[in-house]
Structure 1
Amino acid sequence: MPRSTAAAPHKGRGATFDPDNRFAPTRVEAEDDGWWQEDVPERLATEVREERARSALSWNRSPDLPFDRSLNPYRGCEHGCIYCYARPSHAYWDLSPGLDFESRLIARTGLVERLREELAKPGHVCRSINLAGNTDAYQPLEAERRTTREVLALLLECRHPVTLVTKSALILRDRDLLAEMARHRLVRVMISLTSLDRDLKRALEPRAASPAARLRTIEQLTAAGVPVGTLIAPVIPGLTDHELERLLGAAREAGAGTAGWMLLRLPREVAPLFEEWLETHYPERAAKVMSLIRQCRDGEVYDSRFGKRMRGEGIFVDLLEQRFARACRQLGFNTPDAWAAQSLDTAAFRPPRAQGDLFA
């Protein structure tokens, strides 16, 4: 029996339905004929399958990104953030970007071995690896699999720099490795903040760490000597934009030295998922939010052009830029000293030993 495509909230999940896989040759539409009745389970269990990694690093040439390589231990993300721009990628594995993305996960095995092989290649040029560029490397599955920790241990061994963006307090488990990497100028961490409103956060990012836990994470990593910044993302017009200054102030008080922001992105299937989420959780704001989003995207819900997709354009975006810049100046974010403290060393890289090489 095909998985239901009907919209229905599930406790602890962000998406309310599974949109069709855009690559599937057929589509299923639910019709109420008055006979079939199906009770929607209150909770949706997480399923995990394994995929043997054929390579470790993914490469990009995007001018919008400050890195050209990334590594992703997991496909899909149990955090369940309704706005996640990575949701459409789940269609490549014959799964839906909706509930499947947050409940049917793929754990990549053999990843550390593949990374060791790639770093040992004679032509490898050492530049910072972003961990992870698609889904959160510290999502709940990492507590069991520990792949991210193994990757960090290898990068420390061969003195290879890495950047991390996460909204999980699980990163504190690895502060011993991160502190040692920081001593060698090999790591920079960005903690993502979306809202200080706990109720909004629970609906928007159901299985991510609470706002208070993320601020404690900034504080404790800073205390361990790890350079930490904050990423206010996504800024959602009409829903979270009023919190911009408060979020920056809280992050600065916790010890963050640098800050950035990104506008909400709604590529492909994310747009209908987000609109359905709005109608379910914030129906009184839905029309205003979508109107503001279109004002920032030249009348569309999304603009994929480089230079526009992360920030948007228009009067509303200009006001956000001004507010962000002013708050950063007042709070002391992004000073030359702060950026210097987060600079990474690529000169100390030493290729890892091959597995089983006793004479290297």
Structure 2
Amino acid sequence: MEGKEYLKGRGAQYNPHNKFVHDVYGKFHHEGIDSYDEESNRTIFIPSEAKSLVHKVESPDVGMEFSANPYQGCEHGCIYCYARNSHQYWALGSGLDFERKIIVKSNAIELFEHFVSRKNWNFTPIHLSGNTDCYQPIERKMELTREILKIAIQYKQPISIITKNALILRDKDILADLAKLGLVKIFISINSLTEETRQKIEPRTVTAKQRLRVIEELAYCNIPMGVNVAPIIPGLTDTEIPSVLKSAADAGAQWANYIIVRLNGQIGEIFKDWLTMAYPERSAKIWNSILSCHNGQVNNSNFSERMKGSGKVASIIRDIFKLHCVKNKLNMKAFEFADIERHSNNTVQLKLF
């Protein structure tokens, strides 16, 4: 990668080879006779008829039982995103392809209604954005998430959402209706209040200031709000934990969660390549800090440790986070979805996180 120019407006700086694809197409020799045009940096959208939308979450440490994602790939381009690896199952790359080739599940609305209208469905909460952001830019045009929320109101389906896009404010009318029934909880992701940092690690997301405005406006509508300080990148964003928690609490957040960055699969090489270009003078310190949180690796698959890390640095992060949650009166009481009487006259109590 030596001599490569930093690609602004994207997280990943290249597209690693998909391990499931045998053929490779690219420019290997500048003096080659056959011409080869480098792929443009524009985003393309690929319509797809999905077989299913709502999936059972098998991981016991992610705080959700079911997840629905109307989009595969994400234009936000967050360099650390754990969902990058899943793009390989679509014969695409986990680097630039993940940000530039977005799969739109055209039949998402029909699939969602079919799922929640089943006679044996027990109305366990369904999490939107368990993989990729349901409010990424293409949602402004497609409105798949908005239509899914309308169906949730119709069937009184509990919903949880995590996003980092202010587009969610478009749907505050539906979200307020869900909140009146006690059927929604929303987390906004903020891991840095520094705009220069945000532009590098999350290049196509809205500013932290706008995300705080989202918390404030939705909380004003009595919609339960939380902040997800994630991922914390030790050596880069960990010092901002106190300010992020205070700002979110002041805006109206009642709950907070955090995750220490973990670089599973190909994300490790994508992140390291980006790190040496985005922070050349600090790259070694940041990389080693991440290693110190995962027993000398950049990823720990142990369910009891992978989200919060282990070791001295991870312990310090945990203590600082807990201290400032107490200071800002966050996580004072657990959130519970309301008991709802539905068409079947069954009453269930549902919990999130």
Q: Structures share a fold, TM > 0.5?
A: yes
Q: Does 1:142 align with 2:139?
A: yes
Q: Which region of structure 1 is more displaced relative to structure 2, 30-39 or 82-91?
A: 30-39
Q: 1:192 to 1:240 in 2, by over 3 A?
A: same
- Give the corresponding residue for 1:181: 178
Amino acid of the structure 2 residue aligned with 1:254: A
Q: Helix, strand or coil: the match of 1:234?
A: strand
Q: Does 1:95 align with 2:88?
A: no
How far residue 117 of structure 1 moved from its aligned partner, in angstroms, is: 1.5
Q: Aligned partners of 2:234, 2:198: CA distance in 1, in Å?
A: 15
Q: Per-residue CA shift, 1:251-309, capped at 9, x if unaligned?
A: 01111011010000201111111111111110111101111111111111111121221
Amino acid of the structure 1 residue aligned with 2:14: F
Q: Helix, strand or coil: the match of 1:139?
A: coil
Q: How many residues align?
A: 342
State which of 150, 154, 162 in structure 2 corresponds to 1:165. 162
- Give the corresponding residue for 2:261: 264
How far residue 346 of structure 1 moved from its aligned partner, in angstroms, is: 5.1
How far residue 38 of structure 1 moved from its aligned partner, in angstroms, is: 7.8
Q: Aligned partners of 1:285, 1:350: CA distance in 2, in Å?
A: 58
Q: Aligned partners of 2:268, 2:324: CA distance in 1, in Å?
A: 30
Contact 1:19 1:98 in 2 (8 A): yes
Contact 1:160 1:346 in 2 (8 A): no
- Give the corresponding residue for 2:289: 292
Contact 1:138 1:168 in 2 (8 A): yes
Q: Aligned partners of 2:11, 2:342: CA distance in 1, in Å?
A: 41
Contact 1:77 1:102 in 2 (8 A): yes
Q: Aligned partners of 1:66, 1:53: CA distance in 2, in Å?
A: 25
Q: Which region of structure 1 is more displaced relative to structure 2, 173-182 or 110-119?
A: 110-119
How far residue 228 of structure 1 moved from its aligned partner, in angstroms, is: 0.3
Amino acid of the structure 1 residue aligned with 2:137: P
How far residue 126 of structure 1 moved from its aligned partner, in angstroms, is: 1.1
- Give the corresponding residue for 1:10: 7
Q: 1:8 to 1:69 in 2, by over 3 A?
A: farther
- Give the corresponding residue for 2:349: none
Q: Does 1:333 align with 2:326?
A: no
Q: 1:62 to 1:199 in 2, by over 3 A?
A: same
Aligned pairs for 1:100-115 within 5 A:
100-115=97-112
Contact 1:231 1:259 in 2 (8 A): yes
Q: Aligned partners of 1:85, 1:291: CA distance in 2, in Å?
A: 19
State which of 319, 326, 337 in structure 2 corresponds to 1:344. 337
Q: Aligned partners of 2:197, 2:239: CA distance in 1, in Å?
A: 13
Q: CA RMSD in A?
A: 2.0
Q: 1:33 to 1:116 in 2, by over 3 A?
A: closer
Q: 1:349 to 1:199 in 2, by over 3 A?
A: farther
TM-score, length basis structure 1: 0.91
Q: Which region of structure 1 is more displaced relative to structure 2, 102-111 or 7-16?
A: 7-16
State which of 181, 196, 200 in structure 2 corresponds to 1:199. 196
TM-score, length basis structure 2: 0.92
Q: Does 1:308 align with 2:305?
A: yes
Segments of 5+ residues of structure 1 without an aligned counterpart are 352-360
How far residue 40 of structure 1 moved from its aligned partner, in angstroms, is: 6.5
Segments of 5+ residues of structure 2 without an aligned counterpart are 345-353
- Give the corresponding residue for 2:67: 70
Q: Aligned partners of 2:224, 2:311: CA distance in 1, in Å?
A: 33
**Identity percentage of aligned residues:** 37
